[in-house]
Amino acid sequence: MSVLDIPELALVALVGVSGSGKSTFARRHFAPSQVLSSDAFRAMVADDENDQSASADAFDALHYVAGKRLRAGRLTVVDATNLQPHARAALVRVAREHDVLPVAVVLDVPEALAWERTDARADRTFGRQVLARMSRDLRRSYAQLAREGFRKVHVLRGVDEIEAAEIRYERLF
């Protein structure tokens, strides 16, 4: 079992390619209201969770809500790929603005499995090359994550480790 220590008040950034199981992990370990997903925010602002042209507005709204939650002392999980340094920097910024610790949880599964899962989804229409790019971004992310300001970077490698993970909340006071 991998135990993930997470401060009881944290901004948790899930990091992983499409099909790595971020939304599944979020559903399993957190209450629905604790999870802010980029898909849900794209749907809110553009009626379509796959409308990439709505991403900027969707993330603005997501960061705004995250800030409101953190100000109220509520643990918040961001379910988005978070594969780009600028996406993660925005989350570290929101966390810092509210004196909350940012934590990253990386879900790393074999690219072939991520593709198999993604390809099977009617609501995911992008091609293999897009997933390959995400995988490259993930590999690049490892070196960067450590110095981006995350208090902790938990890495779950492979389906078994993801499956066995448990979250343990650390008391802040």
CB-based burial label for 148 (10 Å; 0-12, 13-18, 19+): middle
In the list Mg ion, ligand CTP, none, the entry touching 24 (Cβ below 5 to 8 angstroms by class) is ligand CTP
In the list ligand CTP, Mg ion, none, the entry touching 63 (Cβ below 5 to 8 angstroms by class) is none
Please count the residues of this chain forming the interface with Mg ion, following the rule CB under 5 A.
2
Neighbouring CB atoms inside 10 A of 149's CB total 16
Question: Hey, CA dihedral for 39, 47, 123, 31, is it positive or negative?
Answer: positive
In the list ligand CTP, Mg ion, none, the entry touching 21 (Cβ below 5 to 8 angstroms by class) is ligand CTP
Tell whether residue 34 is a contact of Mg ion (CB under 5 A): no
Distance CA 2, CA 23 (A): 19
Please identify, using beta-carbon distances, which residue of 55 and 96 lies nearer to ligand CTP.
55
| 16: its two tokens | 């992983």
Please identify, using beta-carbon distances, which residue of 101 and 107 lies nearer to ligand CTP.
107
Distance CA 169, CA 173 (A): 12
Please identify, using beta-carbon distances, which residue of 23 and 84 lies nearer to Mg ion.
23
Please identify, using beta-carbon distances, which residue of 19 and 102 lies nearer to ligand CTP.
19
Instruction: Provide the minimum distance between the beta carbon of 20 and Mg ion in the complex, in angstroms, as a whole number.
Output: 9
| 68: its two tokens | 């409101």
Residues that bind Mg ion (CB under 5 A): 22-23
